[in-house]
Amino acid sequence: MKIILDKSKCIGCGSCTALCPKIFELGEDGKAHIKEARIEEKTENEELEVEKLDCAKEAAEACPVQAIQIK
């Protein structure tokens, strides 16, 4: 499975970091970041391949601007 964070949509509300600090953190820019993510060059989205979603699904559902996708 893959967690994708669309940085252009993120408003930095922090719901993902509150629900899933294992995967998400707020950066110095005030926006969410996926820990240990790779940056997709074309879109500049952050992506992380995981075997288990753990709390990432809840974080995606809680995001008010749907910046987090699970594929």
Based on the number of CB atoms within 10 Å of its own CB, is 7 exposed (0-12), middle (13-18) or buried (19 or more)? middle
* pLDDT at site 54: 84
Of 40, 11, 41, whose CA–CA distance to 26 is shortest? 11
Q: Is 62 helix (H, G, I), strand (E, B) or coil?
A: helix
What dihedral do alpha carbons 41, 22, 1, 34 form, nearest 10°?
-10
* 4-16 mean pLDDT: 97
Question: Per the structure, how many domains does the chain have?
Answer: 1
Domain that holds residue 29: 2-70
Write the CATH number for 32: 3.30.70.20
**Structure confidence by residue, pLDDT tens digits, 29-62:** 999 999 999 999 999 999 999 999 889 999 999 9
